[in-house]
Chain A
Amino acid sequence: MSGPSNFKPKSAILQWTERRLPILGLMHSSFVAYPTPRNLNYWWTFGGILSFCLGVQIITGIVLAMHYTPTVAGAFESVEHIMRDVNYGWLIRYVHANGASMFFIAVYIHIFRGLYYGSYKEPREILWILGVIIFLLMMATAFMGYVLPWGQMSFWGATVITNLFSALPGVGPKIVELLWGGYSVDQPTLQRFFSLHYLLPFMIAGVVVLHIWALHEVGQNNPAGIDVKSDKDTVPFTPYATAKDNFAMICFMIFFAWFVFYIPNYLGHADNYIPANPLQTPTHIVPEWYFLPFYAILRAIPSKLGGVMAMFGSIALLAFLPWLDRAKTRSARYRPLFKQFFWVFVIVCIGLGWLGSKPAEGAYVIASRILTAYYFIHFLVILPLLSYYEKPAPVPASIADSVLGNQPLAPARVKGSR
């Protein structure tokens, strides 16, 4: 993806194909020769981990769809059929269900990595916006997937969230009707959600290709947040990044497997093992954990329309980040004030997540309002002000310098670095 490759396969047949479709050269230049900054840390392994997550969801999802029935009468039972009678069906379903959570854990780490090291700044604005689009598509996919088992939380979660659109003036009720395919969450809703849940991951895959294309055009950012200046600053993707990504990915799989094999229902809701019942509202309707911060923002605003706008606004805001934070220095390493506000922001997000899981009453509401206000102030006031008033620390002259101190680059191992 980055310019013509001088890759030449050894075998004659491959040379023949390569002259007609240079796909091996594309692979070689993208995943072998591609230069990566030599100072990347393990936070940079989450891009690869995210690709792995997407692959896992697509593969397990396709197998599940072979046995799943998208009908109001049959959905719950077909999921139990998968759990009980399909060979290794329990494994496939638990991997898919926990895989969604793992996907979000990875994407949140990936996003906060970008926030910390200023990966959204010039020239990576489009790369960043593509990331925000992927994030939105992931949320839509996960939301519709959660409706499919047709348990109590599926049904009531779908009812609450789709109803939000009715707050939009004018078109609201029409949109809700379109989402429902009728006048309440029912068979047509389930069926169209199934169709879309199957479609969206492939759209995500498409946007990921653009995301990686943009990445390979502008190059990766790095913990020092400075541009690559010479060959000394980079190492080839293979074997360096591949070996590191590989190790990180296996560690991630261990974490993943812990949930799948030992506590597969920990991240889910017990209520979703109760078949959907439109006549009985559960006491607390709580979305999946990865939506909780946004759910807290939604409920913090007293008006329905205001809540909906704040919730979508909190995500849309991310897309404007490159223009809200105008500081030239990218990495928080060299931005002492920004670094502190970053950690406060992390805590605020976790706080919002916790509040999202609590009933909307009493002091919870007040706390949600304070943290919601802070969320917006962080982006709209603190970051723009910091860009002007913060005095950044001096950045190293080059990536090689930042890794090796000021020693000249030696071919042999230098003690004390990673």
Chain B
Amino acid sequence: MMNKNTLLALGVVSAISFGASFPAFAADDAHSTPQPPRLSWTFAGPFGHFDKAQIQRGFKVYREVCQSCHSMKLVAFRTLGQSGALGFSEGQVRAIAAEYQINDGPNDRGEMFQRPGRPSDYFPLIYPNEQAARATHNGALPVDFSVIAKARTYEVGFPGFLIDIVRQYQENGVDYIHALLTGYAKAPEGFEISQTQFYNKYFPGHRIAMRPPLEDNRVEYTDGTPQTVDQYARDVSAFLMWAAEPHLEARKRIGFQVMIFLIVFAGLAYFTKKKVWADAH
């Protein structure tokens, strides 16, 4: 189909393109952040599902550590007990909701008031507004956690990004969060960093305003899981994946059924087509 001239032209075009992709050619800045290591997540792949014990542990880490700064305002308490979620009973969900104080009102005297949370409520804000949050954190904003696991990623070069389609790899967000939480280090010699910032290998620009939130044995695990920063980071990342994608399990389950149906259907359609065309050639 293609002959020598085409191949030559192909060669020229790809030489230009690959030349351009060579780091030395392009002004380089963001590329100096390493790619977060890829972990094996239970919810990856065609039969992925949440490890309920893991996301319960992650929820515990969230509540005991991250929650003092990060809100999760689009997540409702009731969803904790949904199928494909943390596996809490109705009573447990009600008890968890009741631990939070929710702003409500106005009542019939026209006043706002606080009351214990109900399953239909959402996780409350930590700060009344963005300005208040920034004021407490030297101008930085502790992001809301509702969709954070889908709001972060990292670049995968050629041909990796094509292989990811076939492998169904879409866990970049959680890889990044885990890497960020475990990526604190001493700033390299000569790297200027202010008093209120911390050096992190994976944060773009390496200067993050969040002080390392985790340390070994900070959260107590009752099921014998190791109480290490790495384990906490994995668990809280998995929990954040659930928070961002609460219907992940249903999606993959239905997806498999749809695939089986379509493949069988395609087979039937193929033989129908063959039969129809048999006498036309």
Contact = CB atoms under 8 A, between A and B. Distances in A.
A414 B280 CA distance: 9
Interface in A349-370: 351, 354-355, 358-359, 361-364, 366-367, 370
Nearest to B169: A263
B16 interface: yes
A10 interface: no
B251 A91 contact: yes
Interface stretch (A129-137, A157-165, A254-262): A254-262
B152 interface: yes
Interface stretch (B25-33, B54-62, B99-107, B226-234): B25-33
Nearest to A151: B151
Nearest to A85: B76
A64 to B, nearest CB: 16
Interface stretch (B89-97, B185-193, B216-224, B256-264): B256-264
A263 B13 contact: no
A262 B165 CA distance: 9
A45 to B, nearest CB: 11
Contact of A244 (B17, B147, B255, B277): B277
Interface residues of A, number: 62
A348 interface: yes
Contact of B19 (A253, A271, A339, A363): A363
A274 interface: yes
A344 to B, nearest CB: 4
B74 A80 contact: yes
B109 interface: no
Interface stretch (A13-21, A65-73, A235-243, A317-325): A235-243
B20 A367 contact: yes
A382 B234 CA distance: 57
Nearest to B266: A250
Contacts of A180: none
Interface stretch (B111-119, B195-203, B206-214, B268-276): B268-276
Nearest to B256: A261
B5 interface: yes
B204 A283 contact: yes
A67 B262 CA distance: 29
B52 interface: no
Interface in A54-84: 77, 80, 83-84
B36 interface: no
Contact of B266 (A239, A247, A351): A247
Nearest to A256: B262
Contact of B269 (A247, A344, A347): A247
Interface of B: 1-3, 5-6, 9-10, 13-14, 16-17, 19-22, 25-27, 30, 46, 74, 76, 79, 143, 146-147, 150-153, 158, 164-165, 168-170, 172-173, 204, 244, 246-247, 250-252, 254-256, 258-259, 262-263, 265-266, 269-270, 272-273, 276-281
12 contacts: A244-B273, A246-B272, A247-B266, A251-B266, A253-B262, A263-B170, A344-B10, A344-B13, A361-B26, A362-B27, A363-B25, A371-B16
Shortest Cβ-Cβ A-B pairs, 7 listed: A261-B255, A363-B25, A273-B151, A362-B26, A270-B153, A247-B269, A363-B20
